[in-house]
Amino acid sequence: MGMNMSEKILARHAGLESVEAGQLITCKLDMVLANDITAPPAIKEFEKIGGDVFDPAKIALVPDHFTPNKDMKTAELTKIVRDFAREQKIVHYFEVGHDAGIEHVILPEQGLVGPGMLTIGADSHTCTYGAVNGFSTGVGTTDLAVALATGEAWFKVPSAIQVVLHGQKPKDINGKDVILTLIGMIGVDGALYQTLEFTGEGVASLGMDDRFTIANMAIEAGAKNGIFPFDDKTRVYLEERIKDYEPVSSDADAKYARTVEIDLSALRPVVAFPHLPGNVKRIMDIVEPILIQQVVLGSCTNGRIEDLAKAAEVFSMHKVHPDVRCIVIPGSQRVYLEAMARGYIRKFINAGCAVSTPTCGPCMGGHMGILTKGERCVSTTNRNFVGRMGHIESEIYLAGPQVAAASAILGRIAEPKEVE
């Protein structure tokens, strides 16, 4: 029986020749991840088990959600993580400022995840690593605690949706437009506990940062994970990062629950209206101007170097609208340095943007960009639920970096071509 990419990874890590959808299995893990919000309760549960972690080199602890710490409570949470990392001699503990950043940016950036690997993390956007041909998914506190102790986790093998990408994407289209379009097509529960497997000749037109964005938001369609095939772009991305890996590819007779097809060449810039990622509209179809007060460029979804490059290009020769505050958040220290070297940071500041240290910050209403009642924000983050970025009567519109930059310039939701 043929298997898809996710099934092959799960079978390999379960020590089985094959697996099929619905099967319950126990797998050995390559990487276990937690952050400053999710690690403390898991550590508390781990301490009930007692003993040492299964492998200090296969655990990553990343303070990123409320860091740099915004108050005493968040400082206490981070201290729990820091003390645990020292006590257990965790190899991959990322202190603020020490080549660190947002967890889902730095793990692939530093070669801690790769093709064929199985990763779990106590954060729903752990599914990001499917961009590099791995199986990765989010888990809860108890599963994380057990994984820290044993290096194992149980899975129900998900069925798969094959997403076939055709054609070449236009210049003003990026990974965010692709995934928002897909979520708009199938709904926020359209892939509930399923794999989104991206295939087709159109994959070749997507850069790695596009793929990270798409895999990152698989969870916004309810998916267990998203995964891309291994190709030349993946190989080039991994060359300086990781050497020991084993890619997977789907068998010709692999089974899929259904197939969804997207013509990339026909896509137009989109935005997800409040209060669901699936409430997607093409900007060209918006009739009345939607005025905004804030723009956020960054996050684990769109905080990588090519995301900043796309935004910087739109900002060339333009200024942020006087009624808008635009906050730019590089996803990691490495992204920050590269953006400086390329001149993007100067361009953002000269345009009137505020550039922040790497942090999740405003994405989940933490800090560095909270909205008050009645304010609207165009954000390159991944969720626009009620109160997600502050007041319950504020509004978040999800978009890609080009749309976010154009909107910051014009003071309303806009397409990139409107500022050319």
Confidence of residue 420 (pLDDT cuts 50, 70, 90): confident
**The predicted structure's pLDDT at residue 44:** 95
Q: Rounded to an integer, what distance in angstroms lies between the CA atom of residue 389 and that of residue 374?
A: 12
**The predicted structure's pLDDT at residue 317:** 87
Neighbours of 71 (CB within 10 A): 9
What pTM did the predictor assign? Answer: 0.95
Spatial CB neighbours of 199, under 8 Å, sequence gap ≥ 6:
162, 163, 164, 165, 229, 250
What is the rounded average pLDDT for all residues in the chain? Answer: 96
Domain ranges of the chain: 7-263, 269-419
- Over residues 153-189, the pLDDT tens digits come to 999 999 999 999 999 999 999 999 999 999 999 999 9
Q: Rounded to an integer, what distance in angstroms lies between the CA atom of residue 271 and that of residue 49?
A: 46
- Same topology, domains 7-263 and 269-419? Answer is yes
Average pLDDT over residues 292-319: 96
Under DSSP, is residue 286 helix (H, G, I), strand (E, B) or coil?
coil
Average pLDDT over residues 330-338: 97
What tokens were used for 270?
């989109």
* CATH classification code of 7-263: 3.30.499.10
For domain 269-419, the question of CATH label 3.30.499.10 is answered with yes
Widest Cα–Cα separation across the chain: 61
**The predicted structure's pLDDT at residue 214:** 98
**The predicted structure's pLDDT at residue 410:** 97
Q: Rounded to an integer, what distance in angstroms lies between the CA atom of residue 104 and that of residue 60?
A: 11
Q: Rounded to an integer, what distance in angstroms lies between the CA atom of residue 195 and that of residue 380?
A: 23
